[in-house]
């Protein structure tokens, strides 16, 4: 008696585990179970009702079973204590309802109702219905009834339903711990049986399949199923068991199952073909056989099942670490303290990621530091491709020369025009510099917005606020860096150093081709730069300039080109102008001087100048371009080298303390109780894993106790 009790406990424990893990994932553990598979008209429902001994399954012309039905049969020896005055010895319970059913017709209605809910948006659902029967004098079993396989759809069924049912069946029978109960009509050719075709795909040797032959009583006259039962046709290791179900007429007439089972027994005992094996035929034998097979299968599966449970328990504990780590509200009483901890962790991870110090190695994408390095390389190439004076025509240069010298002409070349070209050229460097700074800024804000700081995602308000404050920090850093870069470029414009060694020594490397057309102006090639430098330095040393004049020269003498508009020179000048024109110009020049306008200050405005440049004019323009480009190349090298360093120093290589201080000054003023509210989804996930972990621990303990029991 104790021996049988242990067997019953074994099945009960597995049934309890199925019920516990049903709502998490029915296939989370590869539990030992019996899966019922058959065609839509194979008699599958009748077999299950005969096993239970109750008429409880919905019936109809169309498909009725549209989701898995996990059926537990529990043996009870005492009446239900919920009904002390009624002596209830048979009842049923659904896991989704807090209700006990004593009327099995109501069980049928509830299956229909809940099936319609589960299949509201799809004709087939993988979400199972869990039903437990408590009955006296029955062996304990757990069966999973699946929708019947079909080969053709009806008018109201979608075409994909055939594949959906087949995939659902495969999901269950593919598990190695599943015993397959194949319900096969005996009057149908095995070669065209859809159930056997699918089953063979996953159990080719028939080691874990039990065959149930239905409709054996309506086989064609002169035919029998002995060859199948004796293993001569499609043999199965667990064998075949023939049964006789109620006919459609019996079902309509509501013939009791007890009467149908008695009729089934009589059929096999009186049959000339099957009476010699009648003790291994019929539903009672099928039920006992299933129970013994399930128990033996459970016993063999226990070690591997225990391994599965421990593995899932470890996975569950890993998931819970995200919710119950050192930065979890569940372990830290003060929300203010939690806020500080998360702020510190956020700052530490962000700074280490930007500086390339993070321990996390990313193989599928570039880090922020790597992206910034690539951006620097692109900037350097772009700077080298710039031609700073391309947008300034010879006419503009000549107008500048004429306006700066008036009627007096030049001894060598115009220093004012040279300065103008240098300053305009330096301004062309601003665009790639600003673009570089903006690209770095975009990389940093993208890192903040999409890096995925998982430890703060469970606090949506805090996540939102600290992310925004970090973006504010980078905006402020960008502004500061922009201002510093502007000053750097303005410094280059403010002092044009012709004594720079690279500019002085350029005379040693100038190509003869650069001097074609101007060799008559200066006899010796190497004397060009020396003569120009001496002349320019001497000219500037004799030109006193107070602060107001310097500011005014900067404003008027260095116009920036806006969009595509070119500088406009004040008026047309021609080398053949008469003395009256020169006299008027001299008078205008004197008037300007009386208005505190320096003679070297030029107003770059002209309208549709039609200058006829002489060869000397062109040579002078070419010489100015040569000198200006040479000096701008020196500035270009400085800008290529210094701007990335400036960005790294001022914008990227900020310290942990600097960012933390900024974040703290902003966030510490906010209400921690509002900031540190967990996301509802996170709370549900934590609860889910806590419950699952407890169930896994309980299952592990149950399995350990069963293994220690001597069966």
In a domain, 317, yes or no: no
Number of C-beta neighbours around residue 681 at 10 A: 11
Task: Assign 79 to helix, strand or coil.
Answer: coil
What is the model's pTM? Answer: 0.58
**In this structure, are 704 and 652 located in the same domain?**
no
**In this structure, are 399 and 544 located in the same domain?**
yes
How much is the average pLDDT of 376-393?
A: 86
Cα-based distances in Å from 9 to 4, 14, 425, 703, 707: 9, 9, 91, 11, 12
To the nearest whole number, what is the mean pLDDT of the chain?
A: 79
Does the pLDDT at position 175 exceed 80? yes
How much is the average pLDDT of 107-121?
A: 93
Strands of the 69-75 sheet, one edge to the other: 100-101, 91-94, 129-135, 69-75, 141-145, 33-38, 178-185, 209-214, 240-242
Does the pLDDT at position 49 exceed 80? yes
**In this structure, are 382 and 292 located in the same domain?**
no
Distance CA 411, CA 66 (A): 102
**In this structure, are 373 and 296 located in the same domain?**
no
How much is the pLDDT for 408? Answer: 55
Task: Say which residue, 594 or 413, is predicted with more confidence.
Answer: 413
**In this structure, are 205 and 79 located in the same domain?**
yes
- Minimum mean pLDDT range among 39-48, 80-89, 238-247, 553-562: 553-562
Provide the Cα torsion 45, 50, 56, 62; round to 10°. Answer: 20
Does the pLDDT at position 111 exceed 60? yes
Q: Buried b / exposed e across 138-158, counting CB within 10 Å, b at 16+?
A: bbbbbbbbbbbbbeeeeeeee
In a domain, 144, yes or no: yes
**In this structure, are 252 and 128 located in the same domain?**
yes
Tokens of 102: 């004593």
Q: Which long-range contacts (CB under 8 A, 24 or more apart) does 549-556 make?
A: 549/596, 549/598, 552/596, 552/598, 552/601, 553/598, 553/600, 553/601, 554/493, 554/494, 556/601, 556/602, 556/603
Q: 77 near 137, Cβ under 8 Å? A: no
pLDDT category, 117, cuts 50, 70, 90?
very high
Provide the Cα torsion 127, 133, 137, 142; round to 10°. Answer: 10
DSSP element (H, E) containing 131: strand 129-135
pLDDT category, 15, cuts 50, 70, 90?
confident
- Count of residues in the chain: 711
Distance CA 624, CA 618 (A): 10
How much is the pLDDT for 639? Answer: 93
DSSP assignment of 487-532 equals HHHHHHHH---TT-HHHHGGGGT--GGGGTTTTTTSSSTTHHHHHH
- Minimum mean pLDDT range among 139-148, 219-228, 328-337, 461-470: 328-337
**In this structure, are 298 and 390 located in the same domain?**
no
Q: What CATH number is attached to the domain comprising 69?
A: 3.40.50.300
**In this structure, are 530 and 450 located in the same domain?**
yes
In a domain, 523, yes or no: yes
How much is the pLDDT for 562? Answer: 39
**In this structure, are 296 and 398 located in the same domain?**
no
In a domain, 641, yes or no: yes
In a domain, 610, yes or no: no
Distance CA 211, CA 232 (A): 13
**In this structure, are 372 and 292 located in the same domain?**
no
How much is the pLDDT for 523? Answer: 44
- Minimum mean pLDDT range among 293-307, 334-348, 559-573, 655-669: 559-573
Q: What CATH number is attached to the domain comprising 520?
A: 1.20.120
Q: What percent of the chain has pLDDT over 90?
A: 37
Distance CA 604, CA 567 (A): 6
Alpha-carbon Rg for the chain, nearest whole angstrom, is: 46
How much is the pLDDT for 550? Answer: 43
How much is the pLDDT for 480? Answer: 93
Distance CA 322, CA 682 (A): 10
How much is the pLDDT for 159? Answer: 83
How much is the average pLDDT of 291-304?
A: 89
Q: 145 near 48, Cβ under 8 Å? A: yes
In a domain, 283, yes or no: yes
Question: What is the domain extent for residue 564?
Answer: 353-359+367-581+637-667
Q: 128 near 22, Cβ under 8 Å? A: yes
Tokens 């890096």, residue?
Answer: 451
How much is the pLDDT for 379? Answer: 92
Domain count, the chain: 2
Distance CA 267, CA 257 (A): 15
Does the pLDDT at position 140 exceed 90? no
How much is the pLDDT for 271? Answer: 93
Distance CA 697, CA 687 (A): 15
CA angle 557, 561, 562 (to 5 degrees): 135
Does the pLDDT at position 590 exceed 70? no
**In this structure, are 239 and 388 located in the same domain?**
no
How much is the pLDDT for 546? Answer: 45
How much is the pLDDT for 227? Answer: 92
How much is the average pLDDT of 167-193?
A: 91
Distance CA 313, CA 140 (A): 28
How much is the average pLDDT of 332-354?
A: 85
Task: Say which residue, 350 or 553, is predicted with more confidence.
Answer: 350
Does the pLDDT at position 542 exceed 60? no
How much is the pLDDT for 25? Answer: 65
- What are residue 180's DSSP bridge partners? 35, 209
At residue 666, what are phi and psi to the nearest 5 degrees? Answer: -85, -50
Distance CA 180, CA 190 (A): 17
630-648 pLDDT, tens digit per residue, is 888 999 999 999 999 999 9
Q: Which of 148, 132, 179, 123 is nearest to 44 (CA)?
A: 148
**In this structure, are 295 and 380 located in the same domain?**
no
Distance CA 405, CA 219 (A): 122
In a domain, 515, yes or no: yes
In a domain, 587, yes or no: no
């Amino acid at each position: 008696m104790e021996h049988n009790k242990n067997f019953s406990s074994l099945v009960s424990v597995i049934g309890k585990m199925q019920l516990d893990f049903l709502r998490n994932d029915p296939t989370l553990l590869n539990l030992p179970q019996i899966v019922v598979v058959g065609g839509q008209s194979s008699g599958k429902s009748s077999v299950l009702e005969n096993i239970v001994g109750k008429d409880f399954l919905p019936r109809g012309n169309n498909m009725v079973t549209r989701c898995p039905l996990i059926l537990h049969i529990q043996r009870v020896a005492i009446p239900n204590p919920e009904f002390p005055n009624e002596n209830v010895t048979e009842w049923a319970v659904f896991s989704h309802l807090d209700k006990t059913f004593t009327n099995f017709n109501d069980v049928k209605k509830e299956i229909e109702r809940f099936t319609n809910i589960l299949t509201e948006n799809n004709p087939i659902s993988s979400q199972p219905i869990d039903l437990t029967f408590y009955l006296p004098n029955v062996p304990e079993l757990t069966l999973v009834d699946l929708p019947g396989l079909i080969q053709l759809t009806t008018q109201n069924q979608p075409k994909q339903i055939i594949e959906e049912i087949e995939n659902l069946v495969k999901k269950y029978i593919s598990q190695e711990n599943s015993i397959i109960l194949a319900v096969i009509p005996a009057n149908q050719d095995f070669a065209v049986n859809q159930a056997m075709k699918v089953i063979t795909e996953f159990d080719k040797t028939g080691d874990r399949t039990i065959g149930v032959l239905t409709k054996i009583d309506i086989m064609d006259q002169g035919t029998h199923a002995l060859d199948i039962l004796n293993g001569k046709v499609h043999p199965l290791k667990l064998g075949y068991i023939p049964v006789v179900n109620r006919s459609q007429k019996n079902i309509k007439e509501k013939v009791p199952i007890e009467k149908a089972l008695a009729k089934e027994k009589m059929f096999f005992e009186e049959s000339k073909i099957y009476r010699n094996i009648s003790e291994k035929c019929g539903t009672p034998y099928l039920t006992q056989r299933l129970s013994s097979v399930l128990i033996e299968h459970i016993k063999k599966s226990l070690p591997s099942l225990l391994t599965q449970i421990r593995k899932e328990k470890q996975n569950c504990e890993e998931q819970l670490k995200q919710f119950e780590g050192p930065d979890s509200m569940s372990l830290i009483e003060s929300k203010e303290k939690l806020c500080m901890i998360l702020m510190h962790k956020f700052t530490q991870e962000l700074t280490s990621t930007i500086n390339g110090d993070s321990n996390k190695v990313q193989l599928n994408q570039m880090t922020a530091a790597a992206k910034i390095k690539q951006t620097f390389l692109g900037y350097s190439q772009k700077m080298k491709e710039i031609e700073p004076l391309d947008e300034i025509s010879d006419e503009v240069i000549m107008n500048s020369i004429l306006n700066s010298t008036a009627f007096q002409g030049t001894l060598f070349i115009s220093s004012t025009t040279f300065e103008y070209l240098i300053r305009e050229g330096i301004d062309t460097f601003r665009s790639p510099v600003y673009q570089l700074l903006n690209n770095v800024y975009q990389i940093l804000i993208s890192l903040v917005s999409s890096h995925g700081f998982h430890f703060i995602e469970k606090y949506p308000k805090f996540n939102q606020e600290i992310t925004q404050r970090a973006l504010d920090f980078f905006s402020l850093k960008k502004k500061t860096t922009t201002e510093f870069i502007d000053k750097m470029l303005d410094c280059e414009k403010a002092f044009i150093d012709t004594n720079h060694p690279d500019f002085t020594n350029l005379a040693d490397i100038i190509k003869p081709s650069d001097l074609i057309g101007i060799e008559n102006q200066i006899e010796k090639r190497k004397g060009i730069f020396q003569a120009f430098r001496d002349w320019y330095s001497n000219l500037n040393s004799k030109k006193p300039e107070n602060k107001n004049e310097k500011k005014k020269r900067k404003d008027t003498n260095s116009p920036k080109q806006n969009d595509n508009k070119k500088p406009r020179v004040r008026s047309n000048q021609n080398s053949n102008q008469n003395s009256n024109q020169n006299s008027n110009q001299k008078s205008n020049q004197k008037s300007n001087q009386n208005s505190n306008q320096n003679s070297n200050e030029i107003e770059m405005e002209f309208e549709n100048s039609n200058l006829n440049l002489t060869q000397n004019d062109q040579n002078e323009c070419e010489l100015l371009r040569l000198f200006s480009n040479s000096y701008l190349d020196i500035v270009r090298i400085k800008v290529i080298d210094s701007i990335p360093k400036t960005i790294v120093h001022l914008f990227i290589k900020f310290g942990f303390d600097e960012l933390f201080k900024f974040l703290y000054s902003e966030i510490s003023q906010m209400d921690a109780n509002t900031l540190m509210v967990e996301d509802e989804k996170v709370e549900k996930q934590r609860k889910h894993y806590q419950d699952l972990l407890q169930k896994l621990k309980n299952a592990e303990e149950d399995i350990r106790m069963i293994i220690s029991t001597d069966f």
